[in-house]
Amino acid sequence: MHRYAYLLAGTIAAVIQTGPAWANAVYVSNEKDNTVTVVDSKTMEVTKTINVGQRPRGITVSHDGKLLYVCASDDDTVEIIDTATHQIIGSLPSGPDPELFVLSPDGKTLYVANEDDNLVTVIDVDKKRVITEIPVGVEPEGMGISPDGKTMVNTSETTNMAHFIDTATHEIVANVLVDSRPRFAEFKPDGSQVWISAEIGGTVSVIDNASREVVEKITFEIQGLRSEAIQPVGVRITSDGKKAYVALGPANRVAVVNTETYEVEKYILVGQRVWQLAFTPDGKTLISTNGLSNDITFIDTATDEPIKSVTVGALPWGVTVAPN
């Protein structure tokens, strides 16, 4: 009896140490049918569709996972959704045409790109009030924030600039020229660099955060595709900082880039017109939104191979994943 008891105890201990395979809610904004699709990351099945405001694009989850923020771009607001009930419980005063936003590391401040008014609106999410508005270049969209929360970067599509903003003073401290139509800004986990995608330029500019200078410009070549079809948009960098994933728009591929050599190691075929990317919290899975095929693709980051595509709403654009 004692022998079996020890075996049972050992089995239980092994299960506890291994831990469960966590399922995380994946939230996808569908800009054409004004919905957010909820997908279970473990089963890769749709569990819910939430009706939201007009032309939802930017989307993110609060750091505690309790609230979902959605840019309802044509309603000039950011909607707040309770992730437990999937009900809209309020809104934030975002300014006109909010496109993308980024939440500060402490979760207290939301920085919103207002495309129509050439502003970044800074919002206190707890008090639901505007702290300030920062004038930037023409057609601001991309938003990134350093891991320490001290520097925020906004990209302006028409001015072709990356604006470095001091989050303490809300002042622009540097303007860095990049290639045509910059769409996204992503900091490396150590804060040393920010990667800026240029949709029309077809490049990703790597900017040193200390010197505010472009240290590398990454280009992409795919056999059989014209260069105009390769349009970098969403960018995500792994938590260890070793790999970057770049969504290439109408090329229908996600590029895998070595962040040390800046070489493209692989192109992953996904759905049509890939827009944005998000990791699951464990970093084992990357999810892409594919606007024209109305689906998302789950990608295994160990093999950099697609696992499954899941149909969502019409014109999926943004994606975010709830924390554990």
Buried b (16+ CB within 10 A) or exposed e, 97-135: bbbbbbbbeeeebbbbbbbeebbbbbbebeeeeeeebbe
Segment 235-250 shows an average pLDDT of 98
In order of their start, the domains of the chain are: 23-321 (2.130.10.10)
Say whether pTM exceeds 0.85.
yes
Mean pLDDT score across all residues of the chain: 94
Percent of all residues in the chain with a pLDDT value above 70, rounded to a whole number: 93
Reading the block at residue 281, the tokens are 């919290």
Type of residue found at 79: E
User: What is the structure's pLDDT at 11?
Assistant: 40
Point out which residues pair with 295 in neighbouring strands.
290, 311
Instruction: Encode pLDDT of 22-58 as tens digits.
Output: 689 999 999 999 999 999 999 999 999 999 999 999 9
How far apart, in whole angstroms, are the C-alpha atoms of residue 243 and residue 259?
5
User: What is the structure's pLDDT at 159?
Assistant: 96
32, with CB counted inside 10 A (0-12, 13-18, 19+), is middle
**Res 17 pLDDT > 80:** no
Instruction: Encode pLDDT of 253-298 as tens digits.
Output: 999 999 999 999 999 999 999 999 999 999 999 999 999 999 999 9
Instruction: Encode pLDDT of 121-140 as tens digits.
Output: 999 999 999 999 999 999 99
User: What is the structure's pLDDT at 22?
Assistant: 63
